[in-house]
């Protein structure tokens, strides 16, 4: 059995991003992906345009829409429109297209993709990792990247990520046709969903609609919400097929590496606990993990600890504030809507948040300063 430098479990956004950068650095990389290409993934597909910085190739072939308007509503009323035309910071992708595009780029750099194939068992033996797949095939690798999403059992087994995992509960629908949603427009609805929000994002020839709850474990009744939201978007309440999924969200600063192993993306519980932004941290963690694994493979024994530190600093610090903001906002959403989204400066701030130029920490500091100033 030949030993790989890196074996990546999961060819989603995180796994494909890591595969590309590691293969480009000259390593022998294999990705094992359970599902066939083009399987529709439950995901709104909203992605900060700033992720372009993480790749040396153009991402636009995988982008369906560039968003220049974001519309917010409270119980389908009290609308606020943020015009983002100047900045265009927010793109919409179909995840099956993005993941496939990234994986193709990784393959061009020499990464091997085995698909559809499911990894079933992982064991550490001396200096290597042994992976057994559903077809009985076994692989050996010097290092391992765990990138198999929210259902992964391996981070816990190897002591990576939070001990207590937190989840957003989601229902998503992909619809054919645009209804009354205009091209280049994204929609967020806050009042209808208890402890969360509903969204509608345009894709090529269709719309991704979804409902997500961020506190507690249940969506009150996603069909009741869709009964109101879909007609407001110009669709029949029963249009489209529903997919229900639990999305692992950020829950504290945690160790994301072990001996020759890292967890990335949803498997590492990186998804934003306020807005469910998970594509950017998946791509970012894939890119950072590749950078530090490259050093580790070249003999720097402390490099993987630097991966954890880097993700804590560049992502976790903001998510700590995001988590606090979510706890307050979703408990008092009407107040949050009035004081946050309806402020005159909101469109600019929203553009900065969606583009990733502003962190939750920046927002919290502004709010604190405003409160202090008001009390003087
Ligand atoms: C309804 C919904 C809407 C969302 N909307 C947005 C949004 O608009 N914007 C945003 O930024 N984020 C959004 N997210 C979050 C985002 O989708 C995730 O954070 C992102 O997919 C994480 O990417 P990943 O590569 O870590 O995991 P995944 O995309 O889940 O990829 C993991 C891969 O591993 C494979 N796999 C699983 N088990 C195995 C195994 N045993 N062997 C081999 N392969 C395996 C899976 O088939 C999958 O392809 C949304 C999530 C949901 C559920």
What string of DSSP letters covers 78-115?
Answer: EEEEEE-TTT--EEEE-HHHHHHHHHHHHHHTT-EEE-
Nearest to 148 by CA among 266, 23, 286: 266
> Over the range 320-341, which residues count as b (16 or more CB within 10 Å of their CB) and which as e?
bbbbebbeebbeebeebbeebb
Per DSSP, helices labelled H in 312-359 are 317-329, 333-336, 346-355
Residue closest via CA to ligand 1's atom 35 equals 10
Task: Please tell me the predicted confidence (pLDDT) of residue 349.
Answer: 75
Helix (H, G, I), strand (E, B) or coil at 306: helix
Task: Please tell me the predicted confidence (pLDDT) of residue 373.
Answer: 64
* Residue of 132, 278, 284, 356 with the most ligand 1 atoms within 8 Å of its CB, for mutation: 278
When the candidates are 3.30.70.20, 3.30.390.30, 3.40.720.10, 3.50.50.60, the CATH number that belongs to 3-62+92-164+249-325 is 3.50.50.60
Nearest to 172 by CA among 226, 221, 218: 226
CA of 243 to the centre of ligand 1 (A): 13
**174 with 208: CB under 8 angstroms?**
yes
Question: Ligand 1 pocket, 269 CB below 6 A?
Answer: no
With a CB cutoff of 8 Å and minimum separation 6, the contacts of 344 are none
Gap between the Cα atoms of 8 and 143, Å rounded: 9
Task: Please tell me the predicted confidence (pLDDT) of residue 57.
Answer: 98
Q: Is 101 exposed, middle or buried (CB count within 10 Å of its CB: 0-12, 13-18, 19+)?
A: middle
**293 with 5: CB under 8 angstroms?**
no
Q: Is 4 exposed, middle or buried (CB count within 10 Å of its CB: 0-12, 13-18, 19+)?
A: buried
* Residue of 13, 14, 18, 43 with the most ligand 1 atoms within 8 Å of its CB, for mutation: 43
Question: Ligand 1 pocket, 322 CB below 6 A?
Answer: no
CA of 200 to the centre of ligand 1 (A): 18
Task: Please tell me the predicted confidence (pLDDT) of residue 345.
Answer: 77
Backbone phi, then psi, for 26, in 5-degree steps?
100, 10
Question: Ligand 1 pocket, 260 CB below 6 A?
Answer: no
Question: Ligand 1 pocket, 51 CB below 6 A?
Answer: no
Question: Ligand 1 pocket, 272 CB below 6 A?
Answer: no
Residues of the chain with CATH 3.30.9.10: 166-247
Q: Give Cα 145 distance to the centre of its chain.
A: 17
| Mean per-residue pLDDT pooled into runs of 10, the chain (376 residues) | 92 98 98 92 93 97 93 93 76 96 98 97 94 96 98 97 95 95 92 93 95 79 93 95 94 97 98 94 98 98 97 95 89 85 75 78 78 59
Question: Ligand 1 pocket, 170 CB below 6 A?
Answer: yes
CATH 3.30.360.10 fits 166-247, yes or no: no
Task: Please tell me the predicted confidence (pLDDT) of residue 358.
Answer: 84
**198 with 209: CB under 8 angstroms?**
yes
Residues of the chain with CATH 3.50.50.60: 3-62+92-164+249-325
Nearest to 169 by CA among 197, 144, 146, 188: 197
Task: Please tell me the predicted confidence (pLDDT) of residue 243.
Answer: 93
Task: Please tell me the predicted confidence (pLDDT) of residue 88.
Answer: 60
Look at the pTM and tell me if it is higher than 0.85.
yes
pLDDT digits (tens, 9 = 90+) for 316-326: 999 999 999 88
């Amino acid at each position: 059995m030949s030993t790989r430098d890196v074996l990546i479990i999961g060819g989603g956004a995180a796994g494909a991003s890591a595969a590309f950068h590691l293969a480009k650095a000259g390593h022998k990389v294999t990705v094992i992906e359970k599902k066939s290409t083009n399987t529709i993934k439950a995901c709104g597909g909203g992605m900060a345009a700033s992720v372009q910085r993480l790749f040396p190739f153009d991402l636009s072939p995988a982008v369906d829409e560039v968003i220049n308007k974001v519309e917010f509503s409270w119980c389908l009323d009290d609308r606020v429109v943020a015009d983002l035309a100047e900045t265009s910071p927010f793109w919409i992708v179909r995840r099956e297209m993005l993941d496939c595009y990234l994986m193709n780029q990784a393959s061009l750099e020499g990464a091997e993709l085995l698909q559809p194939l499911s990894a079933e068992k992982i064991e550490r033996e001396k200096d290597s990792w042994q992976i057994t797949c559903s077809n009985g095939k076994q692989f050996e690798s010097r290092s391992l990247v765990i990138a198999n999403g929210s259902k992964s059992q391996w981070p816990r087994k190897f002591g990576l990520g939070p001990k207590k995992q937190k989840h957003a509960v989601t229902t998503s629908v992909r619809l054919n046709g645009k209804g009354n949603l205009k091209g280049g427009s994204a929609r967020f609805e806050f009042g209808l969903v208890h402890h969360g929000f509903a969204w509608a994002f345009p894709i090529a020839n269709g719309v991704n609609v979804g409902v997500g709850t961020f506190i507690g474990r249940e969506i009150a009744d996603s069909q009741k919400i869709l009964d109101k939201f879909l007609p407001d978007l110009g669709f029949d309440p029963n249009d489209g097929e529903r997919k229900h999924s639990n999305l692992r969200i950020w829950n504290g600063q945690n160790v994301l590496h072990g001996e020759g192993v890292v967890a990335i993306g949803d498997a590492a519980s990186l998804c934003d606990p306020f807005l469910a932004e998970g594509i950017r941290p998946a791509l970012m963690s894939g890119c950072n993990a590749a950078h530090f694994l490259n050093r580790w493979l070249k003999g720097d024994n402390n490099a993987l600890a630097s991966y954890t530190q880097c993700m804590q600093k560049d992502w976790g610090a903001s998510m700590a504030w995001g988590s606090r903001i979510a706890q307050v906002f979703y408990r008092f959403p009407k107040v949050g809507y009035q004081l946050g989204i309806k402020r005159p400066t909101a469109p600019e701030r929203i553009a900065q948040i969606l583009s990733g130029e502003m962190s939750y920490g920046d927002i919290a500091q502004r709010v604190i300063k405003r409160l202090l100033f008001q009390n003087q």
